[in-house]
Structure 1
Amino acid sequence: MVTLNHPTARKMSEEYLTPYLPNALQPIAKISAEGQRRIKYAQEEAELKQSLEEDAIRNATNNAIKEKIKSFGGNETTLGYMVPSYANHGGSPPKACFVSLITERDSMTQILQSIDEVQVKFNKNFAYPWVFLSQGELDETKKEMIKQAMTDSMNGNPEVVDITFAEIPAAEWEYPEWIEENKAADSLIALANIPDGDSRAVRYQARYLAGFFWRHPALDEFDWYWRVDPGIELYCDIDYDLFRWMQDKNKVFGFTLSMSEAKEANEKIWDVTKKFGKDFPKLIAKDNFKAFVTKKDSEDFNNCEFISNFEIGNLNFYRSPAYRKFFEYIDKEGGIFYWKWSDSIIHTIGLSMLLPKDKIHFFENVGFHYEKYDNCPLNDDIWNQYNCDCDQGNDFTFKSTSCGEHYFDIVKKDKPEGWNRLP
């Protein structure tokens, strides 16, 4: 018995079938050897035609990618390097994952809370995988607790969400060889008056997140990440795919909170950045977002940063030769340890200098909480549409130590009604 699986083959075979059927009206019939030969030939012809069409599409896509890369100045630029990760526009789901860093300081209660928040408010509808990067191997009890939290969030189906546990290489969580440890120790004392200013572990973590997490082999298969820190909360239901939205809108980085960091923490980082720009002028993007990190009507640094506890971004930005060179330049200055240059400020400056400003997006509809900071939609329509459960009076976007108003002014975005009446 011959089964016609390919629609084109089925159509082509009709003219061959008729002479060999004892009754052309019968839905099932035995076909002679000649009839089977003709059907097989028709199927092979159809499959060959389909294969050639797919090859043509693939070649056309590859040629288009090459032309796009060339138009951005080649693979050395951030936009040129990222082109392949946007070729999936409107196609299958993006190659994306959640990334959660677990250190010795983090509690399982907060880790499980974060998982539940993201799964219930977003990922139960999309089932994107998770990657947990830990300082040392997680014990089996903690792994099972995480797996159970995932299973519970997906209505008891343990197969829906892929989970990867991976260790952070020890060499990426210590002083690099060029750091003078006595000088670094002095900074812990000098900056003890600012949050985490006396913490060596926080500096190790900052360096890892600024320059190494995206190199981990566990992330090699992914183009996109959503950083999930222990203890975060989501205030609103997210009923659309943020990863696909970022991909299809040609965005690179999304944030919910911004703030002005303590000046003492960022000592000299802007001087180093300006020197980098002079040494590598071709890497600085046209129509960049430098205005976000400088004061109005001046070139002076304003200490503004995207708070990194919520980040959605394209991993290939960090993998690009331009960002790698930027990070290496910053890293060799030692400011992560001699002052307190954070992953937030390094990411922010890198994004602002190496990308056009329209590649960075503020998610005002993603209600988010971390420690004392809230992003709660002030637009009532958005607040209601996404079923938000937060106090708009606690929104941090337009508070005095936030950089939200500065951001809205730069991108010429209308501020929500009542933004300037908040306490």
Structure 2
Amino acid sequence: MAIARPVRALGLAAIMMWCFFLWTIFRPGAGIKGPGDSLANLERDPNLDPTGEPEGHLVHTSDAYLPDANPSARINATLLALVRNEELEGMLQSMRDLERTWNHKFNYPWTFFNDVPFTEEFKRKTQAVTKAKCNYELIPKEHWEVPSWINDDLYKESVKILEEHDIQYADKISYHQMCRWNSGLFYKHPALQNTQYYWRVEPKVHFFCDVDYDVFRYMHDNNKTYGFTINLYDAPYSVPSLWPETIKFLAQHSEYLHDNNARDWVTDKLRRPSHNDQASGYSTCHFWSNFEIGDMTFWRSQAYEDYFNHLDRAGGFFYERWGDAPVHSIALGLFEDSSRIHWFRDIGYQHIPFFNCPNSPKCHGCTTGRFTDGEAWLNMEDCRPNWFKYVGMG
């Protein structure tokens, strides 16, 4: 018996709808949360579009932010810098920029860390740049010294291998110590015991844009854990065993993996397959931690404490050149809700040669330079397209 034409049409439509449904689930890039279904659709740097203040609850300046305000509107947060005495001029430059564009309105304290005592000149000149309180702290020896389980002969041999791959600072033991301290020890300093939020500031950086809201209150009131401006690829030969060690850790602690994680960003192999291959499954995408605004509650969590201790015992901070940027980024990408990681697109920032340059009348002296077309945007060292692809702009 022949099937009526309307029934055949309905059946064909049902088959086509079912095929479309399957395609939407299993197509390449399914599950991508960012703007567009592929990197090819990111035709230009989003900072070329007009940039305003972020959405969400914002608190602007008032008399409650004056240096001696009592009560004060400031929350328990600090501007934080690990800096040497000989980096004084570079630190003054960074302070002047950030005080001019933001902190003179809010007067958050500065906390400086060093593995040797600060000179009186350093203290005098930095305090003269700000009306806010400055704190000068010495890093405990047990936080800075090379751990007892690191084999010196193996370290020296490892340095040779790193140098063969042109890994910068491979032979500088102080650089390895710094990376370890920034990764898992800075937030344990007694001076920060009662501090929750920090804004990391490096010497010789620039801030270009006037920011008129309290960024720490923004983080707190909008439930954000971590803020970044720049997102880059790392040198894969500096971290060849970081991801394998992470996989070992996850095998023992799968309970720490967040349901809304950014693992696809951490492990992407489409845009830079050679990086993924050389880094043993890690994309090498990382937040440029020379700028980071963070909630130390995350670093103090059991998940991160266990993860750092696992990495520390593995020795990669010395036998390789694991930086705090990839360590922080992998941990955030796996253990935190990705919606709590925020791109501060409105904060103009430069750490030569990298920069974040918003299109805003509040920005002065910041030029977009090479971010002028899709090809330049997609072929540079910037990994933000991958973050936008898998997570969104936050």
Q: TM-score scaled by structure 2?
A: 0.75
Change in CA separation of 1:147 and 1:163 when aligned onto 2, cut-off 3 Å: same
| 2:291 is the alignment partner of 1:320 | no
Cα distance in 1 between the residues matched to 2:291 and 2:378: 18
Could you tell me how far apart the structure 1 residues matched to 2:209 and 2:188 are?
A: 32
CA displacement at 1:208 relative to structure 2: 0.5
- In 2, distance between residues paired with 1:302 and 1:253? 20
- Residues 228, 293 of structure 2: 8 Å contact kept: yes
> Which residue of the partner structure matches residue 191 of structure 1?
162
CA offset at residue 398 of structure 1? Answer: 5.1
1:274 matched to which residue of 2?
247
2:126 matched to which residue of 1?
Answer: 146
Is 1:214 aligned to 2:190, yes or no? no
The answer for the alignment partner of 1:285 in structure 2 is 258
C-alpha displacement of 1:399: 4.9
Deviations 1:166-212 (A, max 9, x none): 10112221210111111111222221212212221110000000011
Deviations 1:26-80 (CA, angstroms, capped at 9, x unpaired): xxxxxxxxxxxxxxxxxxxxxxxxxxxxxxxxxxxxxxxxxxxxxxxxxxxxxxx
Instruction: Give the partner amino acid of 2:314.
Output: E
Take 2:377 and 2:342, find their aligned partners in 1: how far apart are those partners? 14
Q: Please state if 1:331 is matched with 2:312.
A: yes
Give the drift of 1:221.
Answer: 1.8
Matched residue pairs, number?
312
Shift of 1:340: 0.5
The question of whether the paired residues in 1 share the 8 Å contact of 2:348 and 2:363 is answered with no
Q: How far, CA to CA, are the matches of 1:315 and 1:268 in structure 2?
A: 26
- Specify the SS of the correspondent of 2:80: strand
Q: Distance in 2 between matches of 1:412 and 1:306?
A: 15
Q: Give 1:236's match in structure 2, choosing from 203, 209, 231.
A: 209
- Measured in 2, the distance between the counterparts of 1:202 and 1:346 equals 15
For residue 134 of structure 1, report the CA deviation from its aligned partner.
Answer: 1.1
SS in 2 for 1:393: coil
| Partner amino acid, structure 1, of 2:143 | E
Deviation at 1:246, TM superposition (A): 1.0
Which SS does the other structure have where 2:283 is aligned? coil
CA–CA separation in structure 2 for the residues paired with 1:314 and 1:114: 22
Aligned to 1:129: 109
What is the alpha-carbon root mean square deviation over aligned residues? 2.2
User: Is the alpha carbon distance of 1:397 and 1:92 closer, same or farther for their aligned partners in structure 2, counting shifts above 3 Å?
Assistant: farther
Return closer, same or farther for 1:264/1:296 CA change in 2, 3 Å cut-off. Answer: closer
Q: Does 1:223 align with 2:204?
A: no
User: What is the distance in 1 between the residues matched to 2:284 and 2:77?
Assistant: 30
Q: For residues 262 and 387 of structure 1, do their structure 2 counterparts lie closer, same or farther at Cα, with a shift above 3 Å needed?
A: closer
Code of the aligned partner of 2:246: T
Of 340, 356, 376 in structure 1, the residue corresponding to residue 337 of structure 2 is: 356
How far off its partner does 1:394 sit? Answer: 4.2
Higher relative contact order (CA 8 A, sep 6+): 2
Structure 2 residue 176 is the aligned partner of structure 1 residue 200:
no
Indicate which of 383, 389, 394 corresponds to 1:403: 383
1:265 pairs with 2:249: no
- One-letter amino acid of the structure 2 residue matched with residue 109 of structure 1: E
Whether contact under 8 Å (1:129, 1:162) holds in the other structure is yes
Q: State the one-letter code of the partner of 1:307.
A: W
Change (3 A) 1:412 1:130: closer
For 2:179 and 2:392, how far apart are their aligned partners in 1?
Answer: 32
What is the identity, as a one-letter code, of the residue corresponding to 2:141? A
Question: Any idea what SS the aligned residue of 1:166 has?
Answer: strand
After superposition, the C-alpha distances for 1:129-171 in whole angstroms (9 at most, x for unaligned) are 1111112111112111111122xxxxxxxxx411111101122
What's the CA shift for 1:400?
Answer: 2.1
Query: Which residue in the other structure is 1:367 paired with?
Result: 348
Q: Indicate whether 1:376 and 2:357 are aligned.
A: yes
- Structure 2 stretches lacking a partner, 5+ long: 1-57, 60-71
Q: Identity, % of aligned pairs?
A: 31
Residue 294 of structure 1, aligned match among 267, 270, 275: 267
Partner AA of 2:223 in structure 1: N
> Does the Cα contact within 8 Å between 2:127 and 2:133 map onto a contact in 1?
no
Pair 1:108 & 2:88 matched: yes
Contact 2:343 2:393 in 1 (8 A): no
Shift of 1:92: 4.5
Q: What is aligned with 1:393?
A: 369
Larger radius of gyration: 1
Aligned equivalents of 1:318 and 1:169: distance in 2? Answer: 19
Return the offset for 1:413.
4.3
The superposition leaves residues 284-333 of structure 1 with CA deviations (integer Å, 9 ceiling, x where unpaired) of 11111112211157993111111111000001111111111110011110
- Give the match's secondary structure for 1:179: coil
